[in-house]
Amino acid sequence: MDTIIKRIEQLKKEKDIAILAHYYTDSRIQILADCVGDSYFLSKTATEIPQKTILFCGVTFMGESAKLLSPEKTILMPDSTADCPMAHMADIDEIRAVREKYEDVAVVCYVNSTAEIKAHSDVCVTSANALKVVKKLPNKNIYFIPDANLGRYIAGMIPEKCFILGDGFCHVHTSIKKENIQKAKELYPEALILAHPECTQDVLEIADYIGSTSGIIDYAGKSNAKVFIICTEMGILHELEAKNPDKTFYSVGHRQFCPHMKRITVEQVLEQLENADNLVTLDEEMMGNANKALEKMMVMSK
Ligand code: CIZ
Ligand code: SF4
């Protein structure tokens, strides 16, 4: 493994390639990355760093978002089969049907979606800015896709709007069960429960804090509590433990890991640095439309 890591370091320098990795990737990937973060932060970082070529260790929709925000850069993916099922859980015909049925509707699309779905939406949101963006929309009706759990959570905080929810879900976050959290809480009564809004409603109801991956990391860092039950993908424990050596973090089930993110291996990272042949490419017209939805989000989330 040491020789592989040395070769990766050498190739990165030689070819001037930056490695970005999502919090949900294997900790071995996070260690060798130049930057680790959530999908939106990483896409923004891709626009800001000087390197013209980026190796994005994440699932397809994350690489697509990086390409949308940095069309002039080369975005490489270590594993073209690492794809997020939820990103596909919205249907273009269904979007058209909703637009026909409701006069005053905004199609709001969570960034965990394909570029094609983004291109058919009015505005994108992240879990961190969804509340702010949707509140500002002039429309009475909100078609929220693809994640029903995030949509329901946001809808609960904006009672003046009428939400039509998509039926997408993340199988990792929905596998986190309230009963298992309660069992963990019996063992560690002083623990705070920190949950991602992709979790089911009953889990969110018992959470002490609900937020994005970055939100959870910030909250745990600032909190006076010493023990936490973490209700999101367990790759985040790497960053939480590194930043808070005096605190303890528990996950609640063996299925709390994303098999798609975990497909990415150190060997694939090396292979992509050597061959640089798995590029993210997107149709120009689709890019233009998807970008409009992303740019609208940036303006509205200020
Ligand atoms: O569930 C995911 O894949 C998340 C939260 C991704 C991200 O960073 O937005
Ligand atoms: Fe998709 Fe869920 Fe994996 Fe995130 S954790 S990439 S939403 S399957």
Q: What is the pLDDT of residue 255?
A: 80
- Residue pLDDT, tens place only, 243-257: 999 999 999 977 899
Q: What is the pLDDT of residue 77?
A: 98
- Mean pLDDT, the chain, integer: 96
User: 10-residue block means of pLDDT along the chain (302 residues)?
Assistant: 92 97 96 94 93 98 95 97 98 98 97 98 96 97 98 98 98 96 96 98 98 96 98 96 97 89 97 97 96 95 89
Q: Which atom of ligand 2 is nearest to the CA of 259?
A: 3
Amino acid letter for position 168: G
CB atoms within 10 A of CB 220: 21
Q: What is the ipTM of this complex?
A: 0.96
Largest CA distance in the chain: 61
Task: Please state the length of the chain.
Answer: 302
Q: What is the pLDDT of residue 142?
A: 98
Q: What is the pLDDT of residue 2?
A: 84
107 lines ligand 2 (CB under 6 A): no
122 lines ligand 2 (CB under 6 A): no
Tell the residue number behind the tokens 């303006």, with chain if given.
Answer: 299
**DSSP state string for the chain:** -HHHHHHHHHHHHHHTEEEEEETTS-HHHHHH-SEEE-HHHHHHHHHHSS-SEEEEES-HHHHHHHHHH-TTSEEE-S-TT---GGGG-S-HHHHHHHHHH-SSEEEEEESSS-HHHHHTSSEEE-TTTHHHHHHH---SEEEEESBHHHHHHHHHH-TTSEEEE--B--TTGGGS-HHHHHHHHHH-TTPEEEE-TTS-HHHHHT-SEE--HHHHHHHHHH-S-SEEEEES-TTHHHHHHHH-TTSEEE---TT-S-TTGGG--HHHHHHHHHH---B----HHHHHHHHHHHHHHHHHT-
CA of 24 to the centre of ligand 2 (A): 9
Q: What is the pLDDT of residue 1?
A: 74
Single pTM value for the model: 0.95
Q: Which atom of ligand 2 is nearest to the CA of 233?
A: 5
129 lines ligand 1 (CB under 6 A): no
Q: What is the pLDDT of residue 253?
A: 79
170 lines ligand 2 (CB under 6 A): yes
| Distance of alpha carbon 298 from alpha carbon 302, whole angstroms | 7
